[in-house]
A = this chain, B = another copy of it.
Amino acid sequence: MTDDNATTSRPDDSLEVFKDAFRRHAAGVAIVTARDGDGAPVGFTATSLASLAAVPPLATFNMARTASSWPALSETDQVIVHLLGLRNRDLARRMAGPAAERFAGDHWTDGPNGVPLLTGVTAWMTGTVVERLPVHGNAVVVVRIGTGGVGEDDDALLYHDRRYLRPVHLDD
């Protein structure tokens, strides 16, 4: 191994390795919404959204099975995945805050299949859950994209080392 890589190797503590590495990783910010068995809106901010395939259009996100939204996500097949812009960072914070406050307000409407649709996002797409892979106390959720739309353009909202950021082009 080169000096470059060995600098602060911590072979005995995989949690520290994991934290140190992901501290160097930046992610786009999304919000997933659904309805629970009683029809109540649920949702959460996710930094794990990834595309899986274009044909058919599939995406994945990860969540803890202790999350307030998991009971709904474990039952319903219908979600909406929202992509966030810089203007949506208060929304990102709200949907990562206390569950009871996430839908208190007029920042959402009923979208397709009655799933909560957040207003003012840069893009949204309906997802039909096609797989839920439990791994320890967590789950990987795979959705097939259906319909959707885009809002006004904006810088993509990023999350990195517990802060929100925006991307800039390298030739700027």
Contacts and interface: CB of A to CB of B under 8 A. Distances in A.
Interface of A: 1-2, 4-11, 14-15, 17-28, 30, 47-62, 64, 81, 83, 85-86, 89, 109, 111, 117, 119-125, 130-131, 133, 135-138, 140, 142, 144-153, 156, 158, 160, 163-170
Contacts of A23: 123
A25 to B, nearest CB: 4
A51 B22 contact: yes
Given A27-B50, A28-B26, A57 B169 contact: no
Residue with the highest number of chain B CB atoms closer than 10 Å, among A21, A81, A124: A21
* Tally of this chain's copies: 2
B140 A133 contact: yes
A86 to B, nearest CB: 8
A148 B24 contact: no
